[in-house]
Structure 1
Amino acid sequence: MCGRFALLAKADLLSEFLDVVNMEDPPARYNIAPTQPILIVVAGEKQAPGSNLPERRAMLVRWGFMPGWVKDPRDFPLLINARAETAIEKASFRAAMRHRRILVPASGFFEWRRTEEKGAKAQAYFIRPKKGEIVAFAGLMETWSSADGSEVDTGAILTTAANNDIARIHDRMPVVIRQQDFSRWLDCKTQEPRDVTDLMRPIDDGFFEAIPVSDRVNKVANMGPEILEAVEERAEEAPPKKNKGADAPPSSDQLSLF
């Protein structure tokens, strides 16, 4: 799963990596949490100059997917992640998989290694690409409309089984889309969900490195660079617990846009 991530790159690097036409300099964000706005990339309506592909555009959405058929968001669970293995068939994500696939740029994500030992603290890690400053996660978006006509753009990050590097920490990880596959993933006009299932697999071993960090990241209020400072890794007493349903990071002090 992915319950916290960071985005530190400047607009010029993001624009070059993602090939977007409207990127503005985003603030450095060290501890992005559910329900907060996140930067995403979508395929635009216009054709890119000198190309037969649509231009890509950046926008902000609420991190917490809300299907269009939901009447009252207070009665619906917060969907920050979608399982890649079931997103095509699941009612909540089926339409978005067909029509609204997105990219979610990040500098890395956080994960926690939990143990069976009673009272033991979870070890937090910042998991970042070994090469390069940005990674693009696969995501889905939906615009939710309220009864009064107001609209909220919402999004979720797709996850898959962890590769060998991440499995010692957690059994799930975000789906990473390689730069050469951006156009195919975003192309919802000619690429149906079944045509992009090969992209929703664990990234190769060796792509990420896991840096042990302190539990400062557990609190949404902690938003400074000290969150990424490496600490001594706690000994691993037992294998990480398997997820049961939707995960959430240790802190529940999240914001709400509803």
Structure 2
Amino acid sequence: MCGRMANTLPHDAVANLFGAVPANTLPPLPDYNICPTQDVAVITWENGKRRYRPMRWGFLPVWYKAMNDGPLIINARSETVAEKPAFRGAIRETRCLVPVTGFYEWHRAGGKKVPHFFHRADGEPLVMAGVWRDWGEDGLSSFAVLTTEANALMAPIHNRIPVVIESEDWGMWLGEEGKGAATLMHAPAEEVLTYHRVSQAVNSNRAEGPDLIEPVEAS
């Protein structure tokens, strides 16, 4: 599962990295505690070009009459995404890339929720697979992050892990290069990510600041 993110990647650098046209307005950065329902800048493929634009984190199925008309859908299971009515169209037609610095995951230990910060071991942007759709009369764009069964790195912390898309596969995931996106929906190789324990301050969705992603010693 992916339920909280951090992003310190400069917008202009990300737009250049992906060769994407940036929106005029993008979410403020850095943000060390991105929570569901917040806007996140994502990469899409629309009308023959890549766009870098904000979307609400929390997928809104077309049948929702209001944003709170059902569960908050922040993740989609890769194993069933093509079968679920909420995602069937999106996984075929509107996939996105979610570039961030990293994400948080919690492990219960001794009755406490212990947070950990996951990021790429090579220091590059972490690019997760997403699906998105426009919703409502105003066409509000919203997305969910795809997850899959945890690899050996993640398994001691949680049983799910985000699907990570490598740079050579960005075009395929976005739909620029024909079919084959389904083959990308797997856990990253164990050496791709690394993690460390962080302060329990991040347990609060109001917490902010660079200290949230700094390593702490186990108490």
Taking only the aligned residue pairs, the percentage that are identical comes to 38
Contact 2:15/2:52 (<8 A) preserved:
no
Contact 1:127/1:210 (<8 A) preserved:
yes
Contact 2:21/2:51 (<8 A) preserved:
yes
For 1:256, the equivalent position in structure 2 comes to: none
2:70 aligned with 1:80 = no
Contact 1:100/1:188 (<8 A) preserved:
no
Contact 2:2/2:161 (<8 A) preserved:
yes
Three-state SS of the structure 2 residue aligned to 1:206 is: coil
From the CA coordinates, give the structure whose radius of gyration is larger. 1
- Count of aligned pairs between the two proteins: 217
For 2:3, the equivalent position in structure 1 comes to: 3
Structure 1: where are the runs of 5+ without partners?
46-53, 235-258
For 2:174, the equivalent position in structure 1 comes to: 186
Aligned pair partner of 2:201 in 197, 200, 216: 216
Moved over 4 A (4+): 23-26
More strand per residue: 2
For 1:202, the equivalent position in structure 2 comes to: 187
2:103 aligned with 1:109 = yes
Three-state SS of the structure 2 residue aligned to 1:79 is: coil
Contact 2:171/2:177 (<8 A) preserved:
no
Cα-Cα RMSD: 1.8
2:92 aligned with 1:98 = yes
For 1:56, the equivalent position in structure 2 comes to: 50
Aligned pair partner of 2:43 in 31, 41, 64: 41
TM-score of the aligned structures, taking structure 1 as reference length: 0.79
TM-score of the aligned structures, taking structure 2 as reference length: 0.93
Contact 1:65/1:78 (<8 A) preserved:
yes
Contact 1:19/1:56 (<8 A) preserved:
yes
| Letter in structure 2 aligned against 1:10 | P
Offset at residue 204 of structure 1 (A): 0.3
CA distance in 1 between counterparts of 2:40 and 2:143 reads 8
2:162 aligned with 1:177 = no
2:128 aligned with 1:137 = yes
CA distance in 1 between counterparts of 2:67 and 2:205 reads 22
Residues 235-250 of structure 1: pairs in structure 2 closer than 5 A? none
2:217 aligned with 1:229 = no
Offset at residue 219 of structure 1 (A): 1.2
Offset at residue 129 of structure 1 (A): 0.4
| Letter in structure 1 aligned against 2:203 | N
Offset at residue 189 of structure 1 (A): 8.1
| Letter in structure 2 aligned against 1:165 | L
2:119 aligned with 1:128 = yes
| Letter in structure 2 aligned against 1:198 | T
